[in-house]
């Protein structure tokens, strides 16, 4: 199934909910006609699933275009790179017959995840105020980036620079580390050796990816910018503090890749036919009942990185209209329609009420969001298997009504409909 991408297109593909919308599937699908796919934020917290030819792969750092031999994959400067996870992943795709040589580029400017980041992540997650992170060291690594003490891929080029920065970091963190372990846990020399070894393994991929991408734009290449997590987990625009520490939104695609905003000419939002969230934080349409359990089991809603059960609920148009606004989403890809196949009734949240009054905007604080009452519109279920259907007109009329209601409520066209995890289980409009 080929989705044609115009020459010179630079499109952002991002999650318009709380992540796991099926970005991996959609990016893989679009990659068939793309030249370059770029990851622009997050790290190995992401789990992007790609399924084809009866096989399923979960990617954490490599862009979801990696299974298309003609696509160049770029890990941009906005990503926080876990060396161990990256090397494991390169090995994983190699054993699946994928050659990454000459078609994987990693930014010099990407920050590294260090062993103490993972430890601090776990430490901050103790107690009642936890965020429900993936424990992959993401937050602490971005803290160091913004505190201007982070270690970047470029620092590995000079052993002396790397050692100096690492020693300073360990010194800064020792106090906390000693509090947990009663002694300094980290062997600085061992970390240095491990990371220098890592540098040797990735050296062939490291380059100035901003220069590479801007040259590619001049050459009219077709570029996809792949967001991780989702817009409602954005550090600025998400349900703070229950967010990730990066910018999954369209703005982050520019800062996280070095592609200027003026060169981005399309934004596609990926949404599920319902909503999921993993980790803590408000979720107005959450179903804490058997229906929620049914959706979790039917949709295999378990974390692709941690295996944690995902919280499930109805589609929420209020939050969706907010993420459409923040990102300038012009097209929607709707996934997992098949998961709703067995339901008698399907609901969409069309408004929030607080103390009996309708809210005009998506609340700015999590406290308020946790108190809103969703107002639902009800739709008749189609009670028909959709996972083998190939065209829009094949879909049962109730399913089409559901999709068209989403379009009406958002003012955005649903251009791609996914009815199964496989590449081919897709309906185009």
* Shortest distance (Å) from residue 76 CB to ligand GDP: 17
Three-state SS at 248: coil
* Nearest alpha carbon to residue 231 among 36, 42, 27: 42
Cβ count within 10 A of residue 164: 12
If residue 414 lies in a helix (H) or strand (E), which one and from where to where? strand 413-418
Three-state SS at 69: coil
* Shortest distance (Å) from residue 131 CB to ligand 2SA: 5
CA angle 337, 340, 343 (to 5 degrees): 155
415 scored as a contact of ligand 2SA (CB under 6 A): no
Q: Which of residues 321-340 bind ligand GDP (CB under 6 A)?
A: 335-336, 338-339
Active site residue 48: yes
Q: Report residue 267 CA to chain centroid gap.
A: 15
If residue 377 lies in a helix (H) or strand (E), which one and from where to where? strand 373-380
Q: Among 60, 68, 145, 347, which one carries the catalytic annotation?
A: 145
Backbone angles phi, psi at 407, to 5 degrees: -65, -40
* Shortest distance (Å) from residue 211 CB to ligand 2SA: 29
The interface mask with ligand GDP, positions 262-301, x = CB under 6 A, is -------------------------------------xx-
Residue nearest ligand GDP, CB atom distance: 49
Active site residue 145: yes
Asked whether residue 308 is marked as a ligand-binding residue, the answer is yes
What is the rounded CA–CA span in Å between residue 304 and residue 136?
13
The interface mask with ligand GDP, positions 19-58, x = CB under 6 A, is xxxxxxx---------------------xxx-x-------
45 scored as a contact of ligand 2SA (CB under 6 A): yes
Q: Which of residues 299-338 bind ligand 2SA (CB under 6 A)?
A: 303-306, 308
What is the rounded CA–CA span in Å between residue 399 and residue 4?
26
Between 251 and 279, CB nearer to ligand 2SA: 279
* Shortest distance (Å) from residue 18 CB to ligand 2SA: 6
* 279 dihedral zone (left: phi>0; alpha: psi -120 to 50; beta): left
140 scored as a contact of Mg ion (CB under 5 A): no
According to DSSP, the β-strands at 426-428 and 413-418 are: antiparallel
Asked if residue 274 lies in contact with residue 339, where contact means CB atoms within 8 angstroms, the answer is: yes
Active site residue 20: yes
Burial degree of 299 (CB within 10 A; 0-12, 13-18, 19+): buried
| Position among 20, 82, 155, 234 found at the interface with ligand 2SA (CB under 6 A) | 20
Structure tokens at 263: 């060169």
- Looking at the annotation, which residues are catalytic? 20, 48, 145
Residues that constitute the known binding site for GTP: 19-25, 47-49, 310, 336-338, 418-420
Q: Which residues bind ligand 2SA (CB under 6 A)?
A: 19-20, 45-47, 131-134, 136, 138-139, 229, 233, 242, 244-245, 278-279, 303-306, 308
Q: Which residues bind ligand GDP (CB under 6 A)?
A: 15, 19-25, 47-49, 51, 299-300, 304, 335-336, 338-339, 418-421
């Amino acid at each position: 199934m080929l989705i044609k991408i115009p020459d010179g297109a630079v499109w952002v593909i991002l999650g318009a909910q709380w992540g796991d919308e099926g970005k991996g599937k959609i990016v893989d699908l679009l990659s068939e006609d793309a030249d370059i796919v770029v990851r622009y934020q997050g790290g190995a917290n992401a789990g992007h699933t790609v399924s084809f030819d009866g096989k399923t792969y979960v990617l954490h750092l490599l862009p979801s275009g990696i299974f298309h031999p003609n696509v160049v994959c770029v890990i941009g400067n906005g990503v926080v790179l876990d060396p161990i996870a990256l090397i494991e992943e390169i090995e994983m795709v190699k054993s699946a017959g994928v050659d990454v040589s000459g078609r994987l580029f990693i930014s010099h400017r990407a920050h590294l995840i260090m062993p103490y980041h993972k430890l601090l992540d776990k430490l901050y997650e103790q107690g009642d105020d936890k965020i429900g992170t993936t424990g992959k060291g993401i937050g602490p690594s971005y803290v160091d980036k913004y505190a201007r003490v982070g270690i970047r891929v470029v620092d590995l080029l000079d052993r002396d620079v790397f050692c100096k920065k690492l020693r300073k970091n360990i010194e800064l963190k020792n106090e906390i580390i000693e509090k947990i372990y009663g002694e300094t846990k980290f062997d600085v020399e061992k970390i240095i050796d491990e990371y220098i070894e890592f540098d040797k393994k990735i050296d062939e991929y490291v380059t100035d990816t901003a220069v590479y991408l801007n040259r590619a734009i001049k050459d009219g290449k077709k570029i996809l910018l792949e967001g991780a997590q989702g817009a409602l987990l954005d550090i600025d625009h998400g349900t703070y503090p229950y967010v990730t520490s990066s910018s999954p939104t369209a703005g982050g695609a520019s800062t996280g890749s070095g592609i200027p905003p003026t060169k981005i000419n399309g934004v596609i939002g990926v949404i599920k036919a319902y909503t999921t969230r993993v980790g803590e934080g408000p979720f107005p349409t959450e179903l804490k009942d058997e229906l929620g359990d049914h959706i979790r089991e039917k949709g295999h809603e378990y974390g692709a990185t941690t295996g944690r059960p995902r919280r499930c609920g109805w589609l929420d148009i209020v939050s969706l209209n907010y993420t459409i606004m923040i990102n300038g989403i012009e097209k929607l890809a709707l996934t997992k329609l098949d998961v709703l196949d067995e339901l008698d009734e399907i609901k969409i949240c069309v408004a929030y009420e607080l103390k009996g009054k309708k809210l005009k905007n998506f609340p700015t604080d999590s406290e308020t969001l946790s108190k809103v009452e969703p107002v639902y519109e009800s739709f008749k279920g189609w009670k028909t298997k959709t996972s083998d259907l190939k065209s829009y007109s094949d879909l049962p009329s109730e399913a089409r009504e559901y999709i068209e209601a989403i379009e009406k409520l958002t003012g955005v066209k649903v251009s791609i409909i996914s009815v199964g995890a496989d590449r081919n289980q897709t309906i185009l409009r």
